[in-house]
Structure 1
Amino acid sequence: MKTIGQLMIIGLIFFMTASVTFAHTDLSKTNPEDGTELTASVSEIVLTYSGQIEEGSAFDVTNEQGEVIPVENFVVADGVLTGMLESPLENGAYTVNWNSISEDGHPLSGTFSFTVAVPEEVAPTEQEEVEETEAPVEQAAEESTEEAVVDATATETNGSPSFIWIIAGLVLVLVAGSLWMVVKRKNV
């Protein structure tokens, strides 16, 4: 009889711990990706998390000389942190140092790096410069929106298994408790 009670306690502890473990938010994707060499200009940086993050989450960008590159503003929406750069990055190596706050209040931080290597071209006309600048921003905004929708769907999907584990754990505890009561009554 002690064994059934001990199993119930172990099962309860396991499922309580498992639900907390599945709840943590992590950085799941960056744009630009860590370690990549880009041949197009970069005017925004996007960090996608496995769960929701709080306002106040931010990052800074430094070049290979250690100089901080200005970021105009940050937008937090559906587990995605987007920062618009004051101007497109010049060729060189960059490091992003990010600090975020998960929905449950846990601090998150880390770094990733990338390199910009835009090929030198013949100087474009003023009209071509305007068109080239507008296209990546519009495309990046569309990609950010698509990523946010995919991330929101993934978060909903990722949230379900922990809920199912909690329900399964409760059912297991109830069944084990019922069996223990039946065995106890037969022995009395």
Structure 2
Amino acid sequence: MRPYVTLRATLAAVAALLVILLPARPAWAHAMLVKSDPAAGATVTAPLTAVTFTFNEMVKQQFSTVVVTGADGVSYSDGTPKSVDKTLTQPVKPLPPGAVKVVWRTVSGDGHPLEGQFTFTNAAPAPSSAAPSSAPPTSAAPAPPPSATTGAADPASSSDDGGSGLLWPASVAAAVVLVLVGGTLWWRRRAPGKG
């Protein structure tokens, strides 16, 4: 009779444990990507202004990054992604024709990181992509004077740091060597006087 009581108590404990754990199970679920626009492998024929991700629950905007790279290897992400409800939207600059790679990362409400990547094909008209190509050379022309100034400031500060960084250890090493040599000479002179 006692074995039946022990078995009953064990089964009751297991049943109680299952009742406690089963309702908590949905809390263990993490956010998942439901769909993206454009979808993986899709071909886009109209100019695209954003890539949109839809999740099954809210994600944290401040921890979200989306990099949209054209066939030319240049990033066309325009600013940071915006999160509204369960949707994360990444604005993009006019894309060049060809394969476009999207690499994304975000964090679900419970702190679980999510990431993924996919490609789609941009078949939208190319004239709009010529404008961004001409824009970088224009901005590159004014950029050299500030970068030249920055470059001049950087080597000076680097050489100061490098000089200080090398001078200080060299001085310490020289002082240690002088102390050791002086101590050795003093000890040798002192030893014969004792004998």
Q: What interval of TM-score do these two structures reach, taking the shorter chain for normalisation?
A: 0.5 to 0.7
Query: Which runs of 5 or more structure 1 residues have no equivalent in the other structure?
Result: 122-188
Q: Which has the higher helix share?
A: 2
How many Å separate the matches in 2 of 1:120 and 1:69?
14
**Where do 4+ consecutive residues of structure 1 move more than 3 Å?**
none
Deviations along 1:108-130, one digit per CA (max 9) or x if unpaired, are 11011100112579xxxxxxxxx
How many Å separate the matches in 1 of 2:91 and 2:22?
43
The structure having more radius of gyration, on CA atoms, is: 2
CA contact (8 A) 2:45 2:124 kept: yes
Distance 1:120 1:24, change over 3 A: closer
Show the counterpart of 2:58: 52
Question: What is the one-letter code of the residue matched to 2:102?
Answer: V
Show the counterpart of 1:15: 23
How many Å separate the matches in 2 of 1:116 and 1:9?
54
Identity %: 29
Q: Which has the higher strand share?
A: 1
Query: Which runs of 5 or more structure 2 residues have no equivalent in the other structure?
Result: 1-7, 128-195
Deviations along 1:130-188, one digit per CA (max 9) or x if unpaired, are xxxxxxxxxxxxxxxxxxxxxxxxxxxxxxxxxxxxxxxxxxxxxxxxxxxxxxxxxxx
Question: What is the one-letter code of the residue matched to 1:40?
Answer: A
Deviations along 1:15-42, one digit per CA (max 9) or x if unpaired, are 33x2234x41111111111110111111
Count, aligned residues? 119
Show the counterpart of 1:29: 35
Q: RMSD over aligned Cα, in angstroms? A: 2.2
Show the counterpart of 2:14: 6
Distance 1:15 1:118, change over 3 A: same
Q: Higher relative CO (CA 8 A, sep ≥ 6), structure 1 or 2? A: 1
